[in-house]
Amino acid sequence: MQLATAPDPIALLETMLRIPSYSGQEGELARYLAQAMQALGLRSHIDEAGNAVGERGEGPVQVVLLGHMDTVPGAIPVRREDDLLYGRGAVDAKGPLAAFIMAAAAVEVPERCRLTVIGATEEEAATSKGARFALLSHSPAAVVIGEPSGWEHVTVGYKGRLLIGYRLEREARHSARDDASVIEEAIGFWGWLKGLAEAYNSGRERRFDCLDCAIREMVSGSDGLHEHVRMELALRLPPGFQVESFQQAARQMAGAAQVEFSGLEQAYRADKGNAVARALVRGIRLAGGEPRFSVKTGTSDMNVVGPAWGCPIAAYGPGDAELDHTPHEHISLTEYRRAIEVLRRALQLLLAELAA
């Protein structure tokens, strides 16, 4: 079923926010976006990973706009308050993806070029299913990642990530005994990790260069015969961090506990003088803004595709990243419109450069 009319920018984003799309549950939103992109003049389909894909042009020189459809859990009622639009994903990252779609529909694509918008699946799930499938099915000359940067900022780097699962179970012991409980041993492991991060970070001034660690979850209990504890930990990795050496040390420190590692992504930083970054900077200036570069302490699909594709890359999108994953997530519609204009101008410049 096709949409009767092409959506305007606000209607597109508001409809996207009204369709829940938690990681692994993006199907309904993918179907809507395929219809919306078709109505806006893009050839569209849903690929084998569930990504919503729209294209303009048929040339061999491809520019990919890679955003993501999924969000973290937590329903936020969709509502307008003056210039602000509230809803889960308004910032991370339906706002940037909607801006990609509207800008892609507005640019003129040279004969030698092809512009591809991808609304990827499972970016928030640490699996990056959609981006990993895109690695196999696209070979772009340039990539823009859809993440909130603020309309005057261009993001050129993201820290890496490593998730740690800590498990310890043993026979129950009387609390009067001198030896540590499983909870105390888990706390000891956490203290070691914090101490390691503090030592690593000594003398490093920029947070992008530091090792960050956090407890995501801790659960303990006993059935009277056995006691157990489980911790879920997350590391944010700076460039150059030696992961294998850390894993060996962590296993040794854990002793009898089981330690499992997952979700590894290495930090990635692009050259801020690359063609995509230059085009975005010029687009911001042409739209009346003052461009600035930034690096982020989180991760994105740039960590996945940047090293593999090895082409010019940067991240851009409207929204305040401080609102990511919060119960107050909202986006300024004025900023959203400005970002669309920046992208339109930047893509026109980038496509012309690549076509030449």
CA distance 336 to 159: 26
Confidence at residue 245, expressed as pLDDT on a 0 to 100 scale: 97
Task: Quick: pLDDT tens for 68-119.
Answer: 999 999 999 999 999 999 999 999 999 999 999 999 999 999 999 999 999 9
Q: Is the pLDDT of residue 154 over 60?
A: yes
Other residues' Cβ atoms within 10 Å of the Cβ of residue 38: 16
pLDDT band at 174 (very low <50, low <70, confident <90, very high): low
Spatial CA neighbour of 93 closest among 318, 298, 356 = 318
Annotated catalytic, 70? Answer: yes
Matching CATH topology for 9-158+267-355 and 160-265? Answer: no
% of the chain exceeding 90 in pLDDT: 93
Going from N- to C-terminal start, the domains of the chain cover 9-158+267-355, 160-265
* Spatial contact of 313 and 145, defined as CB atoms under 8 Å apart: yes
Confidence at residue 5, expressed as pLDDT on a 0 to 100 scale: 83
9-158+267-355, CATH topology level? Aminopeptidase (3.40.630)
Task: Quick: pLDDT tens for 259-310.
Answer: 999 999 999 999 999 999 999 999 999 999 999 999 999 999 999 999 999 9
The token duo for 281 is 């900077």
Q: Is the pLDDT of residue 222 over 70?
A: yes
pLDDT band at 176 (very low <50, low <70, confident <90, very high): low
CA distance 340 to 151: 9
Indicate which residue of 92, 122, 123, 147 is catalytic. Answer: 123
Indicate which residue of 14, 70, 92, 147 is catalytic. Answer: 70
* SS3 at position 63: strand
Q: Is the dihedral of CA 33, 35, 41, 44 positive or negative?
A: positive
Q: Is the pLDDT of residue 337 over 90?
A: yes
Q: Is the pLDDT of residue 180 over 90?
A: no
CA distance 220 to 181: 11
Confidence at residue 215, expressed as pLDDT on a 0 to 100 scale: 97
Q: Does domain 160-265 have CATH number 3.30.70.360?
A: yes
Annotated catalytic, 209? Answer: no
pLDDT band at 177 (very low <50, low <70, confident <90, very high): low
Q: What integer best gives the mean pLDDT of the chain?
A: 96
Confidence at residue 4, expressed as pLDDT on a 0 to 100 scale: 64
% of the chain exceeding 70 in pLDDT: 98
Pure H helices in the chain? 9-18, 27-39, 94-106, 129-137, 182-201, 243-254, 275-286, 302-309, 333-355
Confidence at residue 110, expressed as pLDDT on a 0 to 100 scale: 97
